[in-house]
Chain A
Amino acid sequence: MPAHDVLIIGAGLAGQRAALAAAREGASVAIMSKVHPVRSHSVAAAGGINAAISVDDDWHSHAYDTVKGSDFLGDQDAIEVMCSEAPGEVMHLEHIGVTFHRNDRGEMDLRAFGGASIKRTAYVADITGQALLHVLYEQLMKHHETVDRYEEWFTTSLLRDEQGRCCGVIARDVRSGRMEAFTAKNVILACGGAGQAYKPTTNGLIVTGDGIAMAYRAGAPLMDMEMVQYHPTCLVETGILITEGARGEGAHLLNSQGERFMEKMAPNKMELASRDVVSRAEQIEINEGRGVGPGGKGIYLDVTVVPRKRTLEALREIVNLGKDFAGVDITREPITIRPGQHYIMGGVKTDIDGQTPIEGLYAAGEVACVSVHGGNRLGANSLLDTLIFGRRSGEHAAARAASMAMPVIDTHAQLRRDSDAIDAIINRPRDGRRVSEIKNELGEMMNKYAAVFRDEQGLQSARETIARLKEESEHAWIDDRGTVFNQDVLGAIELSYMIDCAETTVVGAIERKESRGAQFRTDYPERNDEQWLKHIDITLDGDGPQVSYSPVTITQWQPEERKY
């Protein structure tokens, strides 16, 4: 049975960064992912990474922008850690090989991004996430002797010992179908968000809330789950993301009258207000009949105002996306976009070292909620979040491992339970619904009721639907009866993960009777600091979610009215 000091689940930016940091501290490390690490969804992050590296900038300014972006729900101690450590982290990335684009002095160039008071976003064209992810993977290849890689292994559950400490996982080798128990002194969850619970979403098909659901089932509290970010610029049909970098480079948003409608909502920052604000403004235009395209369901994003040469060099990926996925040459004509599910601010509750309330269990990246994003994440802060808290988790876990013995635990029962559960799915009679049908219904329903605008009635109906889908999913059948690369059976497990995520999102959204950040309740349209300047924590109790509250940490910035 494999045993490691630090076992990391998920090999995107947070996971790889955690692995490298833990290995550097001398820990024995394994990193496990259900896909090859470079397929992780961090690869799709386009625009860049925020850090106050300019001489005119100061991390306090970055921190304030982040606090304001979070609609004052972010924990300011955590935000201070993230923003103050950002410059050092970005320099480290540059030193290990990230090909950050330069200015004419040969220094790292910075671009403007939403909600930022100064140009603060370092970038590699519009493939920043890909460049970062591939460079970290280069480092994993370099350190292959100190970091074991389990690529294409699917985690089914977390192991806990009698004292409740997390001490490993059960996983299935996707390629062979073999189930195995892995023991570890510490487990770091770094397996991303749950975007596939929505349809459409910018997130890849692999982003199914695995880590959030596994932690929740193991008893860890989830926090801020109601906060779901809709990105303002997604392709109408497929939900494919057009980077905020486009607006950072100067692109405009226009309604059917050709008006830059952001004037009304954010006269100062215009298109570069924070994402929740821009998405809401767009949705209002669409709802009030000033949308464009088929059915008036979209908004024009006009990139033609950016010099063509600049677009081709700095926004090359979206030039291709426009061409390939919408048939539009964005350097010549506006492209139709709309808000689309993109990111979940919530996740497994952690402290600033990535520790969850369960001993031995850490979380970092989108799976976690530190909370640095609060009610709304700023663009280019997610890459930063993954790297800072990935590293901190890795370092902390390595230090903790140094002072403890390898847990001894009988894993047979749980291994058998997970193994039997998979066999049971494979052998289900074909009298229920298909997994894919349930997944589609879940996604479309979430996109209707737990989206940019929400209200009690819609959310309650969402909750009922989820209860029904949960019941149906327990009988949903699949076609594949094999063991080698049985993606079908993994899809059934992923569906159950997504349902848990959707349920906690809706429960949180019902609970929060105010409008803050990404949560806009049409029945409670105002922010209410008196009653709701607090986090909503959700824990699995018996069969259902239990709600509790925790305070928001405020250090130096008192809540104030949020204007862009």
Chain B
Amino acid sequence: MAETQRPPEQFSFRVRRYDPESGEAPYWDEHTVELEPHRSVLEAILQARDRFDGSIGIRCSCRQAICGSCGVRVNGEPALACHTHLDAALKGASDGVIEIEPMGNMPVIKDLIVDMDAVHWKKVQRVTPWLIAKQPVPEREYIVPHENMVDVTQTMGCIQCGACVSDCLAMEVDPGFIGPAALAKAYRFVGDPRDDQQFERLNDLAQDPQGIFDCTHCFKCVDACPKDVNPMGQIMRLRRIATNDHHIVDQNNGERHEAAFTTLIKDYGLLHEAEILPRSYGGNSWFGKFAPAAGKELLSSLPVVIKGVIRGKFNPKIALFGHKIPKDDLKAVQAIYDKVESREKRYELNLYIAGEDEVEVQPAAAAALTAPSIANGGAEPEAATPPSSEGSEQ
């Protein structure tokens, strides 16, 4: 068995402490505990709290990554304390001392306790977070496909720990951004076939300047999430359903930007940088640049463009006339488009289930009993990139 007992070792960690009553600035508080390496950072904090200092503040309850209380930063990365092994945390520590801080993007109340109401829950409330059921309500259950229920279970699996909110880069720049957790919650209703307001929800989130098109695709939330909710993936799905299915044209130019992006890649094989901005604002054709909205945007971007040319960030010739790639390569790119666009239904990869669907191996229990360490059966297949492209860097 993999769970052979390893002897306890000493682990040192420092906690970012803050006492709002003291009038003092935050400070580091270091402790050393003795625990088996596969025990969690939370257990280390609890041991220190039990033995040395009961005043260390941290919310915690279940110890098994389901209650979502103990979101913190470990060595600068957002995580659940109960879900982070000490040996792994030690590897990430720069000087042999595990560093534990409160989450970001939310005000600190005390030590590792942050004000989730002020940020996280307010944003959740923003997305109308309850089912608006289709009428009439059936006498028994709604008859809906199993796949849809499994699909929304991925976002139902969100434990509202705030780890994704903690390190959302878009929110750092724009604190009003609805953000990864709340938008994942929104998908839970948009993707639920029993909900009656799919269009209204999407239109609302698309038109909001701080809605689905405010995300910058940095993947931070995908990494941060301890429950594989894949918030950014859910945001992209909201965009796809809003644009491809409901043809919502938003005032944030999100829909046009996406259309411009995909058209340009299809036509040139690579992004045509000089075209993307005018088309996003003026409309998805070569003539887009003559639209007043595009002109205005181009004008305001001029200083950035000039700076870019001076610093050699891009070649003016390529920028103006686009990249040229070999014909065969361009054909290959276009073949991808043909394949994707000829599908009757859009593929939506739900990483909650996809990526795990490997060949059935049936290790007999008896074999496992006698041969304790069974290899992992090879790496899990890489999750494929969603076939429909999307793009928006606003």
Is A24's CB within 8 Å of the partner chain B? no
Chain A residue numbers with a CB within 8 Å of B5 are: 294
Task: Tell whether, in the assembled complex, residue A332 and residue B374 are in contact, meaning their CB atoms are under 8 Å apart.
Answer: yes
CA gap between A334 and B356 in the complex, in Å? 19
Interface size class of A (residues with CB under 8 A): 35 or more
CA gap between A91 and B53 in the complex, in Å? 49
Is A36's CB within 8 Å of the partner chain B? yes
CB-CB under 8 A for A125 and B133, given A108-B141, A293-B3, A329-B376: no
CA gap between A196 and B125 in the complex, in Å? 33
Is B302's CB within 8 Å of the partner chain A? no
Binary per-residue interface labels of chain A (157-194) against chain B in the complex, 1 for a CB within 8 Å, 0 otherwise: 00000000000000000010000000000000000000
Chain A residue numbers with a CB within 8 Å of B357 are: 309, 312
Q: How far is the CB of B94 from chain A (nearest CB, A)?
A: 24
Q: Which residue of A lies closest to B57 (CB)?
A: A485
Partner of B55, one of A105, A300, A305, A488: A488
Chain B residue numbers with a CB within 8 Å of A336 are: 1, 3
Partner of A327, one of B2, B21, B142, B365: B2
Q: Which residue of A lies closest to B117 (CB)?
A: A151
Is A549's CB within 8 Å of the partner chain B? no
Is B248's CB within 8 Å of the partner chain A? no
Binary per-residue interface labels of chain A (33-46) against chain B in the complex, 1 for a CB within 8 Å, 0 otherwise: 00110111101100
Is A480's CB within 8 Å of the partner chain B? yes
CB-CB under 8 A for A134 and B142, given A39-B61, A313-B353: no
Is B49's CB within 8 Å of the partner chain A? yes
Is B23's CB within 8 Å of the partner chain A? no
Task: Tell whether, in the assembled complex, residue B141 and residue A39 are in contact, meaning their CB atoms are under 8 Å apart.
Answer: no
Task: Tell whether, in the assembled complex, residue B194 and residue A97 are in contact, meaning their CB atoms are under 8 Å apart.
Answer: yes
Task: Tell whether, in the assembled complex, residue A254 and residue B131 are in contact, meaning their CB atoms are under 8 Å apart.
Answer: no
Binary per-residue interface labels of chain A (72-104) against chain B in the complex, 1 for a CB within 8 Å, 0 otherwise: 000000000000000000010011110111111
Chain A residue numbers with a CB within 8 Å of B144 are: 102, 106
Is A321's CB within 8 Å of the partner chain B? yes
Task: Tell whether, in the assembled complex, residue A39 and residue B150 are in contact, meaning their CB atoms are under 8 Å apart.
Answer: no
Chain B interface mostly? loop
Task: Tell whether, in the assembled complex, residue B150 and residue A313 are in contact, meaning their CB atoms are under 8 Å apart.
Answer: yes
CB-CB under 8 A for A39 and B67, given A91-B140, A101-B153, A482-B21: yes
Partner of A333, one of B157, B159, B189, B374: B374
Partner of A434, one of B50, B139, B364, B366: B50
Is B14's CB within 8 Å of the partner chain A? no
Is B384's CB within 8 Å of the partner chain A? no
Binary per-residue interface labels of chain A (310-346) against chain B in the complex, 1 for a CB within 8 Å, 0 otherwise: 0011001100110011111100111110000000000
CB-CB under 8 A for A436 and B57, given A95-B137, A321-B64, A333-B368: no
Q: How far is the CB of A416 from chain B (nearest CB, A)?
A: 22
Q: How far is the CB of B92 from chain A (nearest CB, A)?
A: 16
Chain A residue numbers with a CB within 8 Å of B361 are: 308, 332
Chain A residue numbers with a CB within 8 Å of B55 are: 479-482, 486, 488
Q: How far is the CB of B136 from chain A (nearest CB, A)?
A: 11
CA gap between A329 and B377 in the complex, in Å? 10
CB-CB under 8 A for A138 and B1, given A94-B141, A482-B19: no
Is B360's CB within 8 Å of the partner chain A? yes
CA gap between A238 and B50 in the complex, in Å? 17
Chain A residue numbers with a CB within 8 Å of B3 are: 236, 293, 326-328, 335-336
Chain B residue numbers with a CB within 8 Å of A38 are: 67-68, 159-160
Task: Tell whether, in the assembled complex, residue A35 and residue B69 are in contact, meaning their CB atoms are under 8 Å apart.
Answer: yes
Task: Tell whether, in the assembled complex, residue B67 and residue A485 are in contact, meaning their CB atoms are under 8 Å apart.
Answer: no
Is B146's CB within 8 Å of the partner chain A? yes
Give the most central of A35, A130, A240, A483: most B CB within 10 Å. Answer: A130
CA gap between A241 and B67 in the complex, in Å? 14
Q: How far is the CB of A167 from chain B (nearest CB, A)?
A: 29
Interface size class of B (residues with CB under 8 A): 35 or more
Q: How far is the CB of B260 from chain A (nearest CB, A)?
A: 36
Task: Tell whether, in the assembled complex, residue B131 and residue A96 are in contact, meaning their CB atoms are under 8 Å apart.
Answer: yes
CB-CB under 8 A for A141 and B124, given A334-B368, A485-B110: yes
CA gap between A44 and B158 in the complex, in Å? 13
Is B219's CB within 8 Å of the partner chain A? no
CA gap between A563 and B141 in the complex, in Å? 35
Task: Tell whether, in the assembled complex, residue A99 and residue B54 are in contact, meaning their CB atoms are under 8 Å apart.
Answer: no
- Per the 8 Å Cβ criterion, residues 1-27 of B in contact with A are 1-5, 19-21
Is A107's CB within 8 Å of the partner chain B? yes
Chain B residue numbers with a CB within 8 Å of A139 are: 130
Partner of A141, one of B83, B125, B133, B188: B125
Partner of A104, one of B63, B137, B146, B156: B146
Q: Which residue of B lies closest to A129 (CB)?
A: B66
CB-CB under 8 A for A258 and B63, given A91-B140, A434-B54: no
Task: Tell whether, in the assembled complex, residue B61 and residue A479 are in contact, meaning their CB atoms are under 8 Å apart.
Answer: no
Q: How far is the CB of A466 from chain B (nearest CB, A)?
A: 20
Chain A residue numbers with a CB within 8 Å of B60 are: 205
Chain A residue numbers with a CB within 8 Å of B67 are: 38-41, 43-44, 204
CB-based closest 8 A-B pairs: A97-B131, A480-B55, A436-B50, A204-B61, A479-B54, A488-B54, A106-B143, A102-B146
B-contacting residues of A (Cβ < 8 Å)?
35-36, 38-41, 43-44, 53, 91, 94-97, 99-109, 124-125, 127, 130-131, 134-135, 138-139, 141-142, 144, 151, 175, 204-207, 236, 238, 240-241, 252, 254, 258, 293-294, 300, 302, 304-305, 307-309, 312-313, 316-317, 320-321, 324-329, 332-336, 434-437, 440, 478-488, 491
A-contacting residues of B (Cβ < 8 Å)?
1-5, 19-21, 38, 49-51, 53-55, 57, 59-69, 83, 85, 109-111, 113, 116-117, 124-125, 129-131, 133, 137, 139-146, 149-150, 152-153, 156-160, 188-189, 192, 194, 352-353, 356-357, 360-366, 368-369, 372, 374, 376-377
Contacts A/B (CB < 8 Å), 12 sampled: A38-B68, A44-B64, A97-B189, A102-B146, A107-B143, A130-B66, A207-B61, A238-B64, A258-B366, A293-B1, A484-B109, A484-B110
- Please give 6 more A-B residue pairs, beta carbons under 8 A apart, in addition to A38-B67, A99-B152, A141-B129: A39-B59, A96-B131, A127-B66, A205-B60, A328-B1, A440-B50
